[in-house]
Structure 1
Amino acid sequence: MTSRAPVPTQPGMMILMNENASSGAVSARVTLSSRSFASDFGLASLQPTRERSLMRSEFTHKMRSPAGTASLGFLLTLVDYVTSDPALTVSAPDWTATQNLSLHAAGSVRQGPVLIDSNLVRVGKKAVVVSADVYDGCGLTDLGEFAKTIDSAAPPTGHGPILAGRALATFVRLPRAAATGADDYKPEEWVGRLRERNIETVDGDIYSRLAMRVVDPAAGIVELELSPFVANMIGTIQGGAQALLVEAAAHAIRPGLVATDMQLHYLSQVRVGPARSYADVVRDATDHSLVNVRLVDAGDDNRLLALTTVTLQRAAGLDNRVDR
């Protein structure tokens, strides 16, 4: 499921455009809102070439995990946004939908802003693959300088961006008509242009703002309603919001640990809602746990939405990671 970056519609307004893995009919009762759970991210993006896109996001206390680092679901939301730009650019006039999304930690984001460098890996007739490196900007905000710094291949000096994780996204191609408003979202026309979005206040942290309901923490059962606040272009729950639901489920079944790595395989769209998670612990070790989380559409006969795997670490262990 692909999350499209916010697109200004009127001054002070923005909409988040997102596609889920394509499947049949979807709910028609939920539409886009001018405000979303990502309205305070303050996103800026720059496509130096058709095959590459850079993104910057604000990082405030509201985006932090229980360990004080950037929330994994928050980072995956950003990855989904930035990787979609090269995918859509090379796929035009087709549209794309995210099929698989993964993020593996190399470190953690503690200072910010979050900076991401995404690059096209492969273009096929049916699928497009894009990679992304996620950085703690450590105070750097200029995307042009960010590109120069990481392109220089100079050894780390202790200053400047620090690699926090590596991600990979696979997109499937589909007709552009599948997405309402797609004609207003044309990354192929934005190459070489810096785009910045207004920051709008959003109540609550990255988790509480979604109003998720913890039904049974021991089983990792958490629910997220389908609403305009988390809806995408086709009226279903955005991929980033579903990643946050998965993160919340993993935290619920293993309290005291913090999600650091996630793989998501999107299978279908939320038609009715709520989206409901079920979690199973695969492995418990002294310093980490591995959890499988599946998402279903509880209002549509528990139809399977996504299969995911999450690695959680003890908060103290996050300080021992080696930044590469």
Structure 2
Amino acid sequence: MAEIEHKHNNFVADLDLTSALVNPQRCIMWAPFSDLIKAANGSVRVGVLATMIDVACSDPALANCSPDWTATQDLAVQAAQPLREGPVVIDARLVRIGKKTVVTSARIFDARGETELDRLCALGDAVADPGDPAPLGADCVLTFARIPRAATRGVADYNPGEWVGQVRRRSPLHPATGEDLNRKIGIQVVAPAAGIVEVASAPYVINAIGTINGGVQAIMLETAAELLRPGMVATDIQIKYLSQMKAGPARTRGRVLRDAPDHSVVALELVDAGNDNKLLTLATVLLQK
């Protein structure tokens, strides 16, 4: 099957995502496992997983709610086991489409070298079975709000409903080999003991509706949580997106909810520091040793 490649200079493109709408209700997406997305425990960063499900789930959502657009409302990534080989695969499916929201789900698994679409689909179908060749890495749920397409910019020709059966690749203009993802995003550590980091508004991190990309927010929240609990790795995340950033920078703040010998739970907020600290996002992050 021919691959359609689109090169961009933004955060999502740097993850080098390839996807296919198998049918209007299902998207298979995969990405190479690289140092760029690796967590301290050798698995994939939970912020990257959140980004991937956000993009993968949006395709079946948009394919079924056209001409409307979508804005991510909330997402949850619950880890099952580490992903260590790759490619990292998202099997995203439409759950429910309503007048105001679209609900999707996704399973994440390690394809262990497999890149053929038909095989990835088969692995996705079997991933919940005990002992299958691509064990479940994480389970995810994501809800989108339906918004008018007129509220977006630069997406007039972005119509996933027309892509069924196509393999599409979002690749970087300038491959990020050897670079640090936090540095590329522009994360500035302000107060590590308080979990405060910042990201300024810039084209690299802005999405189609003009606010900071939801995946960038997930990376910020992951980073802030790990600063609050050094030596632990963020594995699970729940995010509620409340408002759009108008000015920037985006800034996190957090507190520890639970501390145990083998794990911690952190509550985080993300605010628009240049707009009277307006609350943008709420999150809960589970960290493990």
Global fold match (TM > 0.5): yes
Indicate which of 275, 278, 282 corresponds to 1:307: 282
In the TM superposition, what is the alpha-carbon distance from 1:61 to its structure 2 partner? Answer: 1.1
SS at match of 2:205: coil
Tell me the C-alpha RMSD between the 2 structures: 1.7
Larger CA deviation: 207-216 vs 170-179: 207-216
Indicate which of 74, 88, 91 corresponds to 1:114: 88
- What letter is aligned with 1:119? R
Task: Say if 1:115 and 1:154 are closer, same or farther in 2 by CA, change over 3 A.
Answer: closer
Distance 1:284 1:224 in 2: 28
Task: Say if 1:190 and 1:220 are closer, same or farther in 2 by CA, change over 3 A.
Answer: same
Task: Say if 1:152 and 1:248 are closer, same or farther in 2 by CA, change over 3 A.
Answer: closer
- What letter is aligned with 1:70? V
In the TM superposition, what is the alpha-carbon distance from 1:149 to its structure 2 partner? Answer: 2.7
Indicate which of 269, 282, 296 corresponds to 2:244: 269
Residue equivalent to 1:58: 32
Indicate which of 107, 110, 121 corresponds to 1:136: 110
Distance 2:125 2:50 in 1: 23
Task: Say if 1:183 and 1:208 are closer, same or farther in 2 by CA, change over 3 A.
Answer: same
Q: TM-score normalised to the size of structure 1?
A: 0.84
Task: Say if 1:256 and 1:87 are closer, same or farther in 2 by CA, change over 3 A.
Answer: same
Answer whether contact 1:56 1:143 (CA < 8 A) is retained.
Answer: no
Q: Percent identity?
A: 46
Residue equivalent to 1:234: 209
Structure 1 runs (4+) deviating above 4 angstroms are 152-158
Unaligned runs of 5+ in 1: 1-6, 15-34, 315-324
Answer whether contact 2:128 2:135 (CA < 8 A) is retained.
Answer: no
Larger CA deviation: 108-117 vs 228-237: 228-237
Q: State the Cα deviation string for residues 155-176 of structure 1 (Å, max 9, x = none).
A: 4546x32210011110111111
Residue equivalent to 1:255: 230
Q: State the Cα deviation string for residues 95-131 of structure 1 (Å, max 9, x = none).
A: 1111001100011111111101011111111111000
Distance 1:228 1:163 in 2: 34
Indicate which of 59, 67, 72 corresponds to 1:98: 72
SS at match of 1:197: strand
Distance 1:39 1:154 in 2: 29
Task: Say if 1:232 and 1:8 are closer, same or farther in 2 by CA, change over 3 A.
Answer: farther
Q: State the Cα deviation string for residues 38-93 of structure 1 (Å, max 9, x = none).
A: 33322111111111111011110111111121001011100100000111111001
Task: Say if 1:204 and 1:154 are closer, same or farther in 2 by CA, change over 3 A.
Answer: closer
Q: TM-score normalised to the size of structure 2?
A: 0.94
Distance 2:62 2:241 in 1: 18
SS at match of 2:204: coil
SS at match of 1:89: helix
Indicate which of 205, 218, 222 corresponds to 1:243: 218
User: Does residue 20 of structure 2 align to residue 46 of structure 1?
Assistant: yes
Unaligned runs of 5+ in 2: none
Answer whether contact 2:128 2:136 (CA < 8 A) is retained.
Answer: no
Residue equivalent to 2:58: 84
Distance 1:82 1:76 in 2: 10
Residue equivalent to 1:193: 166
Distance 1:54 1:163 in 2: 15
SS at match of 1:232: coil
